[in-house]
Structure 1
């Protein structure tokens, strides 16, 4: 068993070169090809655009899916790759730089995070790549990307870490990508993103391209996320992810002003689900989660991805901001309840059109403004206001009656954070006057995932 890592200077010279690093890491990266019951041209339309009809004859082979993978355990032959590389495969073939070829066994996969774990059986020593601590990666770090672009064979490119915590490529998936400008092309999916110590910091998984070409924006799944998910696949044969049980969204500039927050990053909580890990931990609507196990949380998407890679029963330490004060809470993640898996509701809208508001009956101990009716299909209905909701505050100001609410709205603040009591539970609805429906005020839930 060999671990891929070596210095970068050429022996006897001060000349800098990536060659020693590539020589030691490249044997840990495999080419992956699959056989499925579809035509070549259906699966590889971009590749077929490069060839004429006559030239396509040599591609008319049963092997019609191409990708890459990384050996992470040489002794047991475990290889990590993307789920989309091996999806629908009837046969998976792995080819190493040595020329050795293997039929691979699919140990397990997780579509939500786009990873799959394969296993090969070799009677020769393999080279593995150690997993780095991806939480230590910094923007500006040099990296190399190794993969099998367009089935041409193993290819190495270099670049830097361009950004961290990227999301939004596929809203239903768990995304907390490392962004790099190292060139990544079709077929490089599942390949390695490597630091200068020869350690795996991520699995290359996607790219943004213009007219099919690379524009220097590639994405990789962080190694820490991979490590957590692989542990579950090996233990259970599937990912048994835990959830906090919250609905929330990104901490925007407007929300920081409304709630008087100094932090510009974090995950804002709109609502706590009943009998959830979050409720039992003492989290409340209006809290902002700024750290998880001592590591900064820059967005709700990042929180969702990190929680989504942890297993049921995992205890986590949450750093939160509540009423401008820093608190620390412990939560033990729970299993997803099938009946509570929901898609994201429509975006919040800044207007109250369609809602009938009134003062509650005199006997109501909860003073505020009652939502008496919400017209179906209206703007108010669209952003989630419901009949029976009791508005008790706006932008941290208590609202005792309809007169106070009307007076407050006359000032036309750009953001309205409505504090609402619904079925004896408090939650927030955020209204943004000058935004369209695509303004990003879309509550998310850490339960918007599949088992």
Structure 2
């Protein structure tokens, strides 16, 4: 059975296309079926034909209005061919003298994608495309619908959102800029158009509907949510716009799910609201600036929500908090369940991650959290996300540094413990974190915090409240023994 694969819709390398020639009928003299002197090939009721013609005119207007702002993005990326894998063998059979090593060979790889003009400042035009199209390119050229080919310059690129901004300069003031729509208003079933340069066919338009919204690209580092569409998207469509019936860009075509590598009606576009701020960041700073508050978030299964006391509410669980972070300074705690940000309900962890990332550094963000069955308001001053910090440095600041889950019948059976043992099951420990320093291990059962017995996840996090504490220790059950961990000094 062929495996379903995720593919970016960029074209790299040489592409051979075989095209069969067909004889096409001559175009009709008039597009108006009811006009004098024209004849329909089949008998179609006038009112039905009029309705279809109205829709066709609308489709034509969208294509005519948006396509001039859709561009072909041709890129060149310098690569290095790997050194000869046989060079360390005792005998070299392919002409290179034994003992000599060849230098890696540099070569150029050509690629093709799409883009859409989204901004103009004086003579400078800005093209939005994907990071996987232009983010690592050494040479970029932008080809307009009328055939003009202009030199492009990378303004900025971001791997987490998979977007890039390319600029070019032109004296032609008639080059149009596309209008950006509101992707939050997009609904399943909406008519949409995918535009770009699929398989080298420039200025192509396919039409379909929005199949779903709020999709995620599982298995990737992309933090965007996606609009799913059955409008045909193929290699070369990456970076092109997904457009609504009003001629507004609602997404950037990015990837397809396919068993063959071609379109199977499962195309995905980054929702345009996810990248509007990125456009401004690229132009002003050359990179995307992400807001950061300093929490580690988890999705909770329904049974865990019950033990935490949040019922069936949607939100994001703060499984860990960074010591000294804006969130902790604002009064947030590990174990809080975030239900809203700036009065907007939180539906999922991914949504909250995107929303926090789009916050302005320095602004005060208002969070509503559930804690111990009560709603608590927390105000947090947003900081900037630092990418240069190592994983180990991050882990060292995590509090408490371990993930815990309810002690269920399944893990009781795994640990061979009966119902007399009460506590929470440790499902993960971050390296060099406080929990690791206290020698907590995966599979331990934490039965008490600072000598206070606990039996649920909610009780564990409540006991972890750092207010007034100078040190913390756990009672841990493992292998039939209960021991007290070393004491972790907080100050």
Distance 2:465 2:340 in 1: 28
1:99 aligned onto 2:140: no
Give the corresponding residue for 1:442: none
1:110 aligned onto 2:151: no
1:18-33 equivalences in 2 (<5 Å): 18-33=59-74
Distance 1:262 1:426 in 2: 32
Number of residue equivalences: 367
Q: How far 1:137 sits from its partner (Å)?
A: 2.5
1:69 aligned onto 2:118: no
1:302 aligned onto 2:351: yes
- The superposition leaves residues 52-89 of structure 1 with CA deviations (integer Å, 9 ceiling, x where unpaired) of xxxxxxxxx97720101010014430111111101332
Q: Which one of the candidate residues 180, 196, 210 is aligned to 1:161?
A: 210
1:282/1:135 CA distance change after superposition, 3 Å: farther
Distance 2:131 2:183 in 1: 20
Contact conserved, 1:200 with 1:223, CA < 8 A, in 2? yes
Q: How far 1:176 sits from its partner (Å)?
A: 2.2
Distance 1:19 1:140 in 2: 20
Look up the SS of the partner of 2:264 in the other structure.
strand
Distance 2:33 2:63 in 1: 15
1:421 aligned onto 2:470: no
Q: How far 1:251 sits from its partner (Å)?
A: 3.6
Contact conserved, 2:449 with 2:464, CA < 8 A, in 1? no
Q: How far 1:186 sits from its partner (Å)?
A: 1.6
- The superposition leaves residues 119-142 of structure 1 with CA deviations (integer Å, 9 ceiling, x where unpaired) of 111221111112222223233322
Distance 1:298 1:282 in 2: 22
Q: Which one of the candidate residues 62, 80, 86 is aligned to 2:128?
A: 80
Look up the SS of the partner of 2:310 in the other structure.
coil
1:370/1:292 CA distance change after superposition, 3 Å: closer
Contact conserved, 1:108 with 1:233, CA < 8 A, in 2? yes
Give the corresponding residue for 1:394: none
Q: Which one of the candidate residues 389, 392, 414 is aligned to 1:339?
A: 389
1:357-376 equivalences in 2 (<5 Å): none
1:23/1:110 CA distance change after superposition, 3 Å: same
Give the corresponding residue for 2:97: none
Distance 1:201 1:426 in 2: 52
Structure 1 vs Structure 2 CA RMSD: 4.1
Q: How far 1:324 sits from its partner (Å)?
A: 4.1
Rg larger in 1 or in 2?
Answer: 2
Q: How far 1:214 sits from its partner (Å)?
A: 2.5
Give the corresponding residue for 1:220: 269
Give the corresponding residue for 1:134: 183
1:186/1:298 CA distance change after superposition, 3 Å: farther
1:194/1:271 CA distance change after superposition, 3 Å: same
Look up the SS of the partner of 2:323 in the other structure.
coil
Bigger RCO of structures 1 and 2 (CA < 8 A, at least 6 apart): 1
TM-score by length of 1: 0.69
- The superposition leaves residues 319-362 of structure 1 with CA deviations (integer Å, 9 ceiling, x where unpaired) of 43334444443322112344365589998776487899xxxxxx
Q: How far 1:259 sits from its partner (Å)?
A: 2.8
Give the corresponding residue for 1:45: none
Give the corresponding residue for 1:16: 55
TM-score by length of 2: 0.64
Give the corresponding residue for 2:222: 173
Q: How far 1:171 sits from its partner (Å)?
A: 4.1
Q: Which one of the candidate residues 200, 205, 224 is aligned to 1:151?
A: 200
1:122 aligned onto 2:170: yes
Q: How far 1:92 sits from its partner (Å)?
A: 0.6
1:284-303 equivalences in 2 (<5 Å): 284-303=333-352
Distance 1:122 1:301 in 2: 39
Q: How far 1:208 sits from its partner (Å)?
A: 1.2
Contact conserved, 1:354 with 1:381, CA < 8 A, in 2? no
Contact conserved, 1:242 with 1:314, CA < 8 A, in 2? no
1:193/1:263 CA distance change after superposition, 3 Å: farther
- The superposition leaves residues 220-251 of structure 1 with CA deviations (integer Å, 9 ceiling, x where unpaired) of 22222211111111121222222110011114
Q: How far 1:217 sits from its partner (Å)?
A: 2.3
Give the corresponding residue for 2:315: 266
Give the corresponding residue for 1:361: none
Give the corresponding residue for 1:55: none
Q: How far 1:148 sits from its partner (Å)?
A: 1.3
Gaps of 5+ in 1: 1-9, 41-60, 357-367, 391-396, 410-414, 428-451
1:186 aligned onto 2:232: no
Distance 1:278 1:223 in 2: 28
Gaps of 5+ in 2: 1-31, 35-49, 82-106, 441-446, 473-491
Look up the SS of the partner of 2:351 in the other structure.
helix
Distance 2:369 2:464 in 1: 22
